[in-house]
Amino acid sequence: MNFPEYVQINEVVLRDGLQLEAKVVPLEEKKELYDLLMNAHVKTLEFGSFVHPKLVPQMANSGELFDAVAAETQRPDLIALIPNLKGAENAQSHGVNRLNFVFSASDTHNQQNVRKNTGESLTELETILEFCTSHSIILNVSIATTFGCPFEGEVPVARIQNLVRRLVEMKIDVITLADTTGMANPKQVYDLLTMLRDEFTSQKFNLHFHNTRGMGLSNILASLQAGIDSFDTSLGGLGGCPFAPGATGNVCTEDVVHMLHTMGIDTGLSLKGLLKASAALEKIVEHRTPSYLLKAGPSDRKYPVPTS
């Protein structure tokens, strides 16, 4: 098996991780979590989203968080998710220079998420791309429900292929393929990624998995085998789409990093720092998280032999 020597981890806990939480986390606690992630050497961070605050109140202070950290000299790449042109304009007004536009491969899920069909979102993407280009903003794109839709079921591979082709023609920097509700399986992941990378040899792909059915780490392994070296993960395994039934958390950052490090794959992240941040996260959200590593510790942890 040919695995990459280095894998990029894009931390999404401040956006995807918190958007489904019952508690609306205040700015001070988000900043505390941000600082802990910096101490763990996180290099790429999706810090929030510019969406309507009535729809996702947990993201209402995203602009304030960016303003609080924007002047730091040693800050990571900060990415904001946007669903439309209005979101891009709001992000730009705060000085955000890297955005992630999301739309769904499934028309039904896209209607639930942004009140448009997929074609309408692609049309709006062209306008957003023009706006970003004119303001020197890097625009990445995520395709939600790439591996299946909770409303429509299977999403045809040809549909994904055609959507990716449209994005490649637009010269999108990074395309994220998202398993929005954890429907993917490793063989499906490997087959799709192999096909896409064979056709679009110069395109940078990023993968976004949820652990809804316990296959998150397996799907990451299949992605590595297909040559992918960039993944979204969420501290503590928090997260989920507010507009998808049965949505649960993302693959857990510390669990993914632990797996990669034990395989001899570098991430540049401090596992010790991530565990400290994950412990703080449980206090902030006021409940236990799905993190396996926070419960069990690293696999090289040794225990004293019982004396009686």
Give the active site residues: 241
Q: Give SS3 for 193.
A: helix
The rounded distance, in Å, linking the Cα atoms of 289 and 236 is 5
To the nearest 10 degrees (0 to 180), the angle between helices 253-262 and 216-225 is 50
CB 46, CB 268: distance < 8 Å: no
The rounded distance, in Å, linking the Cα atoms of 170 and 196 is 16
What element of type H or E holds 200?
A: none
For residue 23, the one-letter residue type is K
What is the rounded end-to-end Cα distance, in angstroms, of the chain? Answer: 45
The rounded distance, in Å, linking the Cα atoms of 250 and 255 is 11
Q: Which long-range contacts (CB under 8 A, 24 or more apart) does 257-260 make?
A: 257/9, 257/233, 258/293, 258/298, 258/299, 259/217, 259/220, 259/221, 260/7
- Which pair of structure tokens corresponds to residue 88? 């891009």
- Which pair of structure tokens corresponds to residue 89? 């304009």
